[in-house]
Structure 1
Amino acid sequence: MTYPTAWPTRRARFLFDRRDVRGADAPLASATKEGVILRSDLDYSVWNPDSNVSNYKLVEPDDFVIGLRSFQHGISHSSVRGIVSPAYTVLRQTGSLNPQFVKHYFRSSQLISRLANITQGIRQGQAIDIEAFRNLIMPVPPQEEQHRIANYLDAETARIDALAKSYERVKDLAAERAQTMIDTEIEREPADTPLRHIVRFREGPGIMAVDFQQDGVPLIRISGLQEGGVTLQGCNFLSPDKVVRQWHHFRLRLGDRLISGSATMGSVSIVRDLEVVGSIPYTGLIILRPARSGVEMGYVEAFLKSSRFSRQIDVLKTGATMQHFGPSHLSQVNASLPSVEIQRRVIATVGDALQFSEQVARLTNGQVALLAERRQALITAAVTGQFDVSTASGRNVTDGVPTP
């Protein structure tokens, strides 16, 4: 990589010191792709440490932590004081580096590709070898330029992130609108009919891995429930003779609905592909078929997406050690069964709402992906000197960013 002539380069071993302070009195922290974050501030559950954390390493603000996951997010900048797993490597930059500049450099595609090369093809999920990192050659722009680049990227990435969040909010609002439409339609009628009187449900058989073959009758797995349709993706295969003897009554028919008792609530997949007909669903996948005449399965799909259904399932799962549902839960659910005319009106109304929500999701996801590409390209170009950030835009690049 060619850098501006005013930018010297040095190996990382001369730019970072390893810190190995143990037994500090500080809160627990974790290295994430957003940076080093106190575990108390994480939105998701993390593993519980051993009762003795005396061996945990101290990390201070502006330290960097080489984590345990892939190199794409494996070097995290810390803005907090905490203690991290002894498996992490804690680094402190020398006085010649601006930590904000380094934070952005570690997120650049240039750094990612060079680290991949220096570690001889490190794969997703593997840890970064500290010696490989120490041999990494990094640019060291003049201090004033590091500060200018860091300020520019702080401002520009904040704008991009804010715009991405706006798109995500638009998508969420469209989904909320669709859910409101579903609930409004479903709750117009009283839930006075047991669901088992509307549809029959049968869970796939418990088949052991010893029964899997290289070919034969497809065994549908949860990965085969794709975008509302049943596919052969990720399927196994069973002996045709054994299927005839033991599992023929589980064979899928055209138009069957499949739901998963452990996947996203309300997600229904339809057997539309003739290639799938005759397959066997694995245990945990539940086949739904009309139990009587006058049942529109599109109306049943709308009910399964409704809050009326999810509330009942949540109550039935209360206290269960396994948070999934099966036929025994479904047999206790109550629904409504209006006239066929009303069912079809509900299907049309709900279908329009879902179609609008899905269209919004496609458009916003595309925009968010473009913004992510823009963000990555911007960071890489700035930290490698491909453009002068002081003239990169027609506005004050440090607008809204406090100066040191």
Structure 2
Amino acid sequence: MWDVLPLRRLVDPKRPITYGIVQAGEDVPGGVPYIRPVDMTETDGVADPAQLRKTSLEIARAYKRSRVTPGDLVVSIGPSYGKIMTVPAELDGANLTQGTARVAPGRSMCGRFLFWALQSKLARSFWDASVGGATFRSLNLEPLSRTACPAPDLEEQRRIADFLDAETSRLDQTRVARSKQIDLLNERHLAAVSELVTPGISTDCRRSTDWPWLPAAQEFVRLGHIARVQTGVMVNASRKVSESDVVRPYLRVANVQDGRIDLTQVKSIRVERSAARLSTLQFGDVVITEANGNPDNLGRGAVWRNEIPEMIHQNHIFAIRPDPKLLSSDYLAAVLASVHGRRYFRFTSNQVGIATTSSAKVMSLPVPALALEAQLKVVNQAGQLTESQSYLASALDRQLLLLSERRQALITAAVTGQLDVTTASSGVRV
């Protein structure tokens, strides 16, 4: 039976568990690199050590207690927690921040075994029960130092580490392959739906966005000729409260996803009654987002179906109200989600500073001039493609989940002695 000891008893007594620099200052060329939680990937440590920010030599000397050497472990403790990496040779002498902690294995511990032990369910469950903070959940040094870790003899630790290095690598390769399948599936689905919605337009997302890309044989009409636009209300926190104010649910850019509206987190705001009236959404409106600081948000669209009555929308969302005799709301949403719609907003956006658009540019969107009956047929066909794609994507997502669960179970069983690694094989089958 193996001993199970708190982590603080398994580290080098001369280099106890510690966090790093509280304020690293400006990025200093030629300075000392330091590791932040954001620099760490979930499984592969720092992707590019050369891109780490650097602090001054003076600050680094003031925090020499948190200097790292090759073979040390770094654990992210806040604002995210639980990422673990082994310090590579090229980061010898680097430092940490307040959001990362150094774990220097003691002489009785194999660093690679400790790396896996801290990823076991035994450690993760303890951390999950110990973290504090409602918004930014962080792991303090005290519970980190109390993390229970199995401590077999050094030779057994090395055997387990060798086994997990090999077997998790196989699992990770399978996970990468499944992720690539999902990406390819999504790309093919986008191309297929785009060809239905805007036939004749190149569906290669990687091609140049040189204008114009519209085929001469296809007739188009500007969106402004078959719909009108409604702008949203701007929140003014310093505005004085008025007797005519009303409280209304408020649709934000974060609520609008590709082709759907997420209403799990809806805020309400106090606005002047007339402003609320002018920005209230109606059934069948197509909401289109501005970037609002994130270029990926630009031009996202979804149909509003009056899920919440009296919903108003913010000024970074345009509400398009199609002429019901000329344009289907669902067809317009499909145009926005197509390669054509995405390329239009990328090409026409203001690229100086934050990518953005305007109501004039939105209403200048070229929409294929299809009869309403043809639009509805396209929407139906696109819906069938999406249903098939969703089924396949869900199957691949389930495989990814099973692979993650298998990986976690394998690590836990190996480091706790439940699995004899001298005869075991992970047998990756999903």
TM-score interval, normalised by the smaller of the two chains:
0.7 to 0.9
Select between 200-209 and 333-342 the one with higher mean Cα deviation.
333-342
Select which of 3, 8, 12 maps to 2:3: 8
Matched, 1:222 2:250: no
Which letter does structure 2 place at the counterpart of 1:270? Answer: V
Contact 1:29 1:39 in 2 (8 A): no
Counterpart of 1:355 in structure 2 is 387
Matched, 1:67 2:99: no
Closer/same/farther in 2, CA of residues 333 and 320 from structure 1, 3 Å limit: farther
Q: Distance in 2 between matches of 1:90 and 1:239?
A: 48
Which letter does structure 1 place at the counterpart of 2:227? Answer: V
Q: Distance in 1 between matches of 2:57 and 2:288?
A: 44
Contact 2:191 2:339 in 1 (8 A): no
Contact 1:284 1:326 in 2 (8 A): no
Select between 58-67 and 104-113 the one with higher mean Cα deviation.
58-67
User: How many residue pairs align between the two structures?
Assistant: 382
Counterpart of 1:305 in structure 2 is 337
Counterpart of 1:271 in structure 2 is 304
Closer/same/farther in 2, CA of residues 313 and 115 from structure 1, 3 Å limit: closer
Q: Distance in 1 between matches of 2:235 and 2:31?
A: 51
Over aligned residues, Cα RMSD in angstroms? 3.6
Which letter does structure 2 place at the counterpart of 1:111? Answer: A
Select which of 88, 95, 101 maps to 2:107: 95
Matched, 1:237 2:268: yes
Q: What's the offset of the Cα at 1:58?
A: 4.4
Select which of 346, 350, 360 maps to 2:378: 346
Please give the per-residue CA displacement for 1:343-391, whole angstroms capped at 9, x wherever unaligned. 3343233323222222222222222122212221221122111232233
Q: What's the offset of the Cα at 1:115?
A: 4.0
Select which of 146, 150, 154 maps to 2:165: 154
Q: Distance in 2 between matches of 1:85 and 1:338?
A: 59
Contact 2:288 2:302 in 1 (8 A): yes
Closer/same/farther in 2, CA of residues 203 and 191 from structure 1, 3 Å limit: farther
Counterpart of 1:34 in structure 2 is 43
Q: SS in structure 1 opposite 2:8?
A: helix
Q: Distance in 2 between matches of 1:59 and 1:239?
A: 52
Q: SS in structure 2 opposite 1:303?
A: helix
Q: Distance in 1 between matches of 2:370 and 2:122?
A: 61
Matched, 1:113 2:108: no
Q: SS in structure 2 opposite 1:200?
A: strand
Counterpart of 2:59 in structure 1 is 55
Taking structure 1 as the reference length, the TM-score comes to 0.80
Contact 2:121 2:412 in 1 (8 A): yes
Q: SS in structure 2 opposite 1:392?
A: coil
Q: Distance in 1 between matches of 2:268 and 2:133?
A: 33
Select between 248-257 and 315-324 the one with higher mean Cα deviation.
315-324
Which letter does structure 1 place at the counterpart of 2:248? Answer: V
Which letter does structure 1 place at the counterpart of 2:392? Answer: V
5+ residue gaps in structure 1? 398-404
Please give the per-residue CA displacement for 1:77-133, whole angstroms capped at 9, x wherever unaligned. 22343223353433321232222211111111211233455x575777444433443
5+ residue gaps in structure 2? 22-27, 61-65, 201-216
Please give the per-residue CA displacement for 1:120-161, whole angstroms capped at 9, x wherever unaligned. 757774444334433444321122221221122222222222
Select which of 111, 116, 134 maps to 1:104: 116
Q: Distance in 2 between matches of 1:276 and 1:380?
A: 46
Contact 1:228 1:270 in 2 (8 A): yes
Q: SS in structure 2 opposite 1:259?
A: strand
Q: Distance in 2 between matches of 1:303 and 1:388?
A: 56
Counterpart of 1:400 in structure 2 is none
Q: Distance in 2 between matches of 1:128 and 1:164?
A: 28
Q: Percent identity?
A: 24
